[in-house]
Amino acid sequence: MDPDRVFKEAIYEQIARVGRAVAHPRRLELLDLLCQAPMSVETLAQKSAMSIGSASQHLQHLKEAQLVRVEPRGPARIYHLHDAAACDLFRSLRGLAERYYADVKAVTETFLHDREALEPLDTRTLQQRMDDEDLVLLDVRPPDEFAAAHWPGAWSLPLEELVERLEELPRDRTVVAYCRGPYCVLALHAVEVLQQHGFQTIRLAEGVADWRAQGLPVSQGQDLA
C-alpha cells in the first residue's frame, strides 16, 4: 500500500477513537457532569440515573480514549477529566448541535413551554445587571460540585434543600439561580419554587464550564453558604 495512504489511515483512525468514545448520549452526559467536578462512579450513576454497571461501562469507553482518568482515593475510584480539552470537546459538540440541528431548539422549547415566566440570563447580561443591581447568585447544584468550582460570591443552596431553607434568602433582592449549564434542569426547578414563594427570580443559563471557556474566574471551596 502507498506509504502516504498508510500514514493517513493510521492518523484518522486515532482521531476516530475520540469520535467513537463520545458517540453515545450517556457518555456525553457523563462528560458534562465531570466538567463540574471529579466524581466516583457511584455518584455519576446516581446523578445520571444510570445503574453503576452501565455508568462503569460508559466510563471505560471514555477512559480507553483517554478523555477521563481514574484516581484511587481510599476504597473509592474517582473519575476526572483527563484535562480541560475534554470539557472543551463536550462544549464544541453541544454548540455544533445547537447550530445545525433544529431539533435541539424544538426539544428545548417544548420542555420549557410555559415553565419560565422570564427568559434566562446569559453571563454577559448578568455582569451588566450586577453593576446596577444587588443580586443574589444561587448555586443549586450538589455541594461537591459547588466546592469544585462556582461563581465568585455565589451562595450554595442545593435544590433538594431549597424549600426548607427559603428563610435564608433575602426577599428584597433578585435571586439568580444557576446549575450546570443550559440543559441542566436544577436551576429551572429552583426558579419555579422561588416564584411560587414570592421571590423575584431568574435563571442563569450558563454554568462553570462556560465561564471558564470565556476566561472568567471561578472560586473553589465550601466557605460560602
Give residue-wise pLDDT tens across range 84-111. 999 999 999 999 999 999 999 899 888 8
pLDDT band at 199 (very low <50, low <70, confident <90, very high): very high
Which is catalytic among the residues 35, 87, 179, 184? 179
Of residues 118 and 145, which shows the higher confidence score? 145
Average pLDDT, stretch 189-214? Answer: 94
Supply the pTM of this predicted model. 0.90
- CATH 3.40.250.10 for domain 109-213: yes
Q: Which three cell numbers stand for residue 201?
A: 427570580
- Label the pairing between strands 175-178 and 136-139: parallel
Q: Give the mean model confidence (pLDDT) for residues 120-147.
A: 92
Give the per-residue pLDDT at 224. Answer: 44
Q: Distance (Å, rounded) from C-alpha 207 to C-alpha 159?
A: 16
Average pLDDT score over the chain: 93
What pLDDT is stored for residue 118 in this prediction? Answer: 53
Percent with pLDDT over 70 in the chain: 96
Bridge partners of 40, per DSSP, are 78
Buried/exposed 112-142: b ≥16 CB within 10 Å, e otherwise: eeeeeeeebbebeebeeeeeeeebbbbbbbb
- Would you say residue 172 has pLDDT above 80? yes
CATH 1.10.10.10 fits 3-87, yes or no: yes
Distances (CA, A) of 77 to 37, 38, 39, 41, 43: 14, 10, 8, 7, 11
Note the pLDDT tens digit of each residue in 30-76: 999 999 999 999 999 999 999 999 999 999 999 999 999 999 988 88
Q: Where exactly does CATH 3.40.250.10 map onto the chain? A: 109-213
First to last CA, the chain: 64
Compute the distance between CA of residue 145 and CA of residue 84 in angstroms, rounded to an integer.
16
225: pLDDT strictly greater than 50: no
Is residue 116 pLDDT above 70, yes or no? no
Cα–Cα dist 158/161, whole Å: 5
Annotated active-site residue 179? The verdict is: yes
Mean pLDDT of 172-177: 95
- 131: cell is 453593576
Q: Where in the chain is the domain with CATH 1.10.10.10?
A: 3-87
pLDDT for residue 119: 66
Average pLDDT (3-11) is: 95
